[in-house]
Amino acid sequence: MSGTAGARMRGLSKRRGGAVSLGTVAVTGAAGNIGSVVRKALRREAARLILLDRVPLHPEAGNEEVHTVDLRDAAAVESALVGADRVLHLGGVPDEAPLPDLLEANVLGTHHVLEAARRTGIERVVMASSNRVTGFYPAGHLTGSHHPVRPDGLYGVSKVAVEALGRLYADKFGLSVICLRIGSFEQVPAEPRHLATWLSPRDAVGYIRAALAAPRSTRFATTYAVSANTRRFWELPDPAELAYVPVDDAELHAAHILGADLPADPTAPQAGPYAQPEFTLKHLRP
C-alpha cells in the first residue's frame, strides 16, 4: 500500500456521529435508476462525490464532481477516479443483449474500473452484480452466494465474469471488493415474481452504504441485495460480511399485484421469464 493510500484508509476509519466517514466516493453509472437514488443519499454522507456516466450529468450539490466517461476508455476511467477513496461500480449494460456488447461494457468496463483502482491506490470497490447469475435455480431453493452459479442468460454470464474479476483483484492485488447481487429494483413490486425478488430503494441504499463502509478486513464478499420479502428465495447477508438487515417486505404490496394469490411453482426457475430461450435467442445471430 502506498503512503498516500494508507493515509486515506486511516482517515476513512474515523467516525462521525458513530458512522464511518466515506471520504470521496466515485459512482459509475450515476445517471441510472439505482445511481440516481444512491447519489442523493450519498451526497449527505460523502465528503465528495465523483459521478461518472456516459450521458452528461450536472452537479446538484457543492460536493459533486461530474465526468462524462465511457467505461470502455481505460485512460478516461482512471483519470476520473484519481482522488477517490471508494468506488461504487454500477455502470454497464443492465439487461440481456448480444454477448459482444455485454463483454465490452460489463466485463471490459469492470476491468478498467478495477485496474484504475489498483493503479491509483483505491482499496474498496463495491460492484453491482445481479441475481441473474443464479437464475436457473428453482424457486423452491433457498440460494446463497456459496452455491455454484447458474446464469439465466448472456447478461448473467457477463455478471459471473464481473464477480470473477473482483475475486481476482482481491486475491492477486489486495483490493477489497464486495459484489452485490442486485434484486428487482423498483419503487414498489409490480408482478408476482417481485414478491420474492424486490429490492426497495431504501434497502438498496442500505446495502450500498454498508458495503462502502465495511471493514477493510473484508477482502472479498458476494451477497444478494434483496429486501426482507416473505417469499424471497435468496439468503440474506452474513452479518460478518455485510452489516445490513433489510427492512422492507414486498408482501405489504401483494394485494395490489395481479396473480399474487396464486401458488408459485417451486420447480420453476427463479429468473421467471428471463430463463425462457426466447429471451436470449433474439440477441443471437439468426
β-bridge mates for residue 86, sequence order: 25, 124
The pLDDT, as a whole number, for residue 15 is 43
Please check the confidence at residue 16 and state whether its pLDDT lies above 70.
no
Q: Which residues of 123-161 are buried (b: 16+ CB within 10 A; e: fewer)?
A: bbbbbbbbbbbbbbbebeeebebeeebbbbbbbbbbbbb
Q: pTM of this prediction?
A: 0.92
Query: What does residue 69 show for φ and ψ, rounded to 5 degrees?
Result: -135, 135
Which residues are catalytic, by number? 155
Q: What Å distances lie between residue 182 and 55, 85, 179, 214, 285, CA to CA? A: 23, 23, 9, 18, 29
Domains of the chain, each with CATH number or no CATH: 3-281 (3.40.50.720)
What are 31-77's pLDDT values in tens digits? 999 999 999 999 999 999 999 999 999 999 999 999 999 999 999 99
Does the structure show a pLDDT above 60 at 4? no
pLDDT tens-place string over residues 190-236: 999 999 999 999 999 999 999 999 998 999 999 999 999 999 999 99
